[in-house]
A and B are shown apart, each in its own frame.
Chain A
Amino acid sequence: MSYITISNNQSVPSGTIPVMEYSQFLDMMIALTDNHPERHCVLYFGYREKDSVHLICCIADDLQHTIMISSSVVKKESVLNSFSARNISFEKFEREIHENFGIGYTDHPWLKPVRYPENRADRSSVISGYPFFSIGSEELHEVGVGPVHAGIIEPGHFRFVCNGEQILHLEIQLGYQHRGVEQLFLDRKKLIERTTLAESIAGDSVIGHTTAFSYLWESLGGIVQDEETLFSRTLAQEIERIAIHTGDLSGICTDVAYQLGSSVFGRLRTPIINFFQEWCGNRLSKGLIRAGYNPFPFNRELAGRLIEILDAFEPDFIEMCADISRLPSTLSRFERTGMLKYEQLLSIGTVGMSARMHTLDRDIRASHPYGIYSSLNHIPVIKHHGDVYSRVQIRKEEVLQSIGYIRTMLKKIPESATSGRIDPVLKPSTFGISLTEGWRGEICHAAITDENGELLIYKVKDPSFHNWLALALAVRNNEISDFPVSNKSFDLSYCGHDL
């Protein structure tokens, strides 16, 4: 056995991660994931080590609640056999390694650029020269959208190949949002700077990303969180889920031209995010989560306000959900639109809500619990059709489930913490990994420190990194007019992907 096994939010001396010869590393990782739907790659990345690239692969096992980690060191100009040829879910990770370090692959399906990072290996490759897939035919036409989209959303370029109104193929080109996040984690030395960076990875998943950052930081610093901090973070995560899911339901209604649903869900989101403002001063909860301490302890007064808000929210939310599940005009747009099968989801390695829409049970809250999720006995919401309607139903049921969890939690608010603020000092030569379940799915942060306890590498993975391909496959053979609602029902992150 040439891997080490750790659990979520655990850190280990980086020297204890086995280094294998590349072909053995390849065989082992494929053997670990093939025919094991309960396992998937949460992170596969490389970093420079003099003239070599150190590859580290992390496979999560949902049944054992563990993460298996192994590594290999390859020369900078290597041309390797790819993982992707044998398991397509590694496809994007290997494209990223190729883009960052110039490592070639003999049998990778298509080594396309991922995000055009500033420090990419091939500086001659530019974003305006992206090699789109195209089909030569007089009967087909291409539709290009973006990078600046029609609404107030982030930029990305979508290229459709259409037969009349029907989409044959969609390719999604990202990278426009690249701000150098991973490099900035190394350049900025103060904890407050790094925390602010974590908050700015994706503004709709502030809690998800900042929580992952904080747990990772505390694990690298050997700090154990008090009960109050665990409670507040878990509570905040569920409030964020309610807020964004509700906002997405509004967007989905907009995209099928159902104005009432759009308005009602839109306004239902307001009291939820306003609660964040009452708690921490910011509607999108920036500033609420900090590594090493809890700046905004939750108290009885806030609990009373939250109950009041949820009591008013719940009946209106249920009433509106019942309405969109009743109307033929909305159902005809939701059902059998943007469908994916279980086999597809499994093969490309989707996570989170995009996996749960068709029986693929991936939910970090249940499989690798953190915070106080183990005491909530979380059971993931699973749907069976893989279409827009499944994604609508997941949102509805998860909102109600989160409200249930919050009500349970508020019955027993922990006493305010007595421990003060600690600035964690990171352990030297240590590897740490942290997984959280954001509303979109699995968020992963990992870091390695050098012999002085300073950051050597910081890696971030948003669930969208896995799930963009799912959207591209879901819209095949759909009408192009159904694309907006499919897209919104996934609601993937551009900035979380581009970093």
Chain B
Amino acid sequence: MLKTVKILYHQGKQFIPDLRKARVPGIFTGRPEISLAKVDEKALINCCPTGAITAAPVSIDLGKCTFCSECVRLFPGKVRFTTDYRMATNERNRLIIKEGINVSVTLNPEIIRKEIHKLFGGSLKLRQVSAAGDNSCELELNACGNVNFDMGRYGIEFVASPRHADGIVITGPISKNMAGPLQMTYDATPSPKIIILAGTDAISGGIFAGSAAIDRSFIEKNHIDLYVPGNPVHPLAFINGVADLLGI
């Protein structure tokens, strides 16, 4: 007993006091900023492994970006990554970061379904489906519930059964072999229900986009309530995104 108390004492307080204002340590690759500097745009577009960069105006699609930093390395005056983890939004277009515009990504309050605030504002239970995710987003979503991030303080939790859930969180590009189980999980979730895409692979297929082994028809035919970019998603990006969606 005393030994256990001693361990507890040694742990101290580990939780992050304010998840809405927390700062990430080090050189986190968060929301990029693109300057108006003139560069060889063709070479800039060509250096991106997933085609996230387009010209006129130069922009980076966070839904496709794998945050590999290749563009920063080759064009240091043009692109840089900030430590801003607020990258989640509910409108696909808002994920496109244009040159010269340096503001956080936010949600479009106009298109948040009314029942979401009303029904899930105090408690949101989510079922996670790893649809060919590489386990990195899964690790980070697990971390959302640990003693540091403690997402449960907002009433947001992951649950074991879709029948207990208010929505699903999808990670991974969705393999053909997972398309069926994903649909079954969604069908088993009671309405009204939400869909959250966590990570670049889920949002666009990422580096796997165009692979013959993936099937993204589920994304095309359903309304997506929240997009959280990242490779993998940072727990703060996810928690803040969901909190914004719920109006917390």
Binding site for B on A (CB under 8 A): 116-119, 127-128, 147-148, 150-155, 175-180, 183-184, 188, 190, 192-193, 195-197, 200-204, 206, 247, 260, 263-264, 266-267, 270, 274-275, 277-284, 286-287, 295, 315-316, 319-320, 323, 326, 493-495, 498
Contact = CB atoms under 8 A, between A and B. Distances in A.
B214 to A, nearest CB: 6
A267 B130 contact: no
A443 B247 CA distance: 45
Nearest to B160: A150
20 contacts: A116-B177, A127-B177, A154-B133, A177-B132, A179-B172, A179-B173, A179-B214, A183-B211, A183-B213, A196-B68, A197-B207, A200-B134, A200-B206, A204-B135, A263-B146, A263-B147, A277-B28, A281-B69, A287-B67, A316-B11
A467 B38 CA distance: 53
A280 B26 CA distance: 8
Given A192-B68, A281-B28, A323 B7 contact: yes
Interface stretch (B53-61, B92-100, B108-116, B178-186): B178-186
Given A116-B177, A281-B26, A184 B10 contact: no
A151 B136 contact: no
A426 B214 CA distance: 29
Given A201-B134, A203-B138, A286-B66, 8 more contacts: A152-B138, A176-B177, A179-B173, A195-B68, A281-B69, A282-B67, A286-B232, A287-B68
A180 B213 contact: yes
A155 B208 contact: no
Contacts of A155: 129-131, 178, 181
A200 B211 CA distance: 14
B175 to A, nearest CB: 5
Which of the listed residues B8, B130, B142 has the most CB atoms from chain A within 10 Å of its own CB?
Answer: B130
A494 B135 contact: yes
Contacts of A315: 10
B134 A283 contact: no
Nearest to B137: A203
Contact of B213 (A178, A204, A495): A178
A260 B139 contact: no
A190 B140 CA distance: 29
A213 B26 CA distance: 27
B27 A176 contact: no
Contacts of B135: 153-154, 202-204, 493-495
B43 interface: no
Given A127-B177, A178-B132, A180-B211, A190 B49 contact: yes
Contacts of B11: 263-264, 267, 316
Given A148-B181, A277-B25, A179 B208 contact: yes
Which of the listed residues B139, B206, B232 has the most CB atoms from chain A within 10 Å of its own CB?
Answer: B139
B49 A177 contact: no
B89 interface: no
Nearest to B129: A148
A247 B140 CA distance: 11
A379 B6 CA distance: 34
Given A152-B158, A278-B27, A204 B136 contact: yes
Contacts of A179: 132, 172-173, 175, 208, 211, 213-214
A152 B232 CA distance: 14
Contacts of A270: 143, 146, 148
B128 interface: yes
Contacts of A117: 213
A316 B10 contact: yes
A202 B137 CA distance: 11
Contacts of B10: 315-316, 319
Nearest to B231: A286
A487 B25 CA distance: 33
A201 B48 CA distance: 19
Given A154-B135, A155-B130, A192 B70 contact: yes
B234 interface: yes
Contact of B7 (A204, A260, A283): A260
Contacts of B222: none
B107 interface: no
Contact of A151 (B6, B8, B69, B160): B160
Contacts of A175: 177
B146 to A, nearest CB: 4
B178 A177 contact: yes
Contacts of A319: 6-7, 10
B133 A193 contact: no
A267 B148 contact: yes
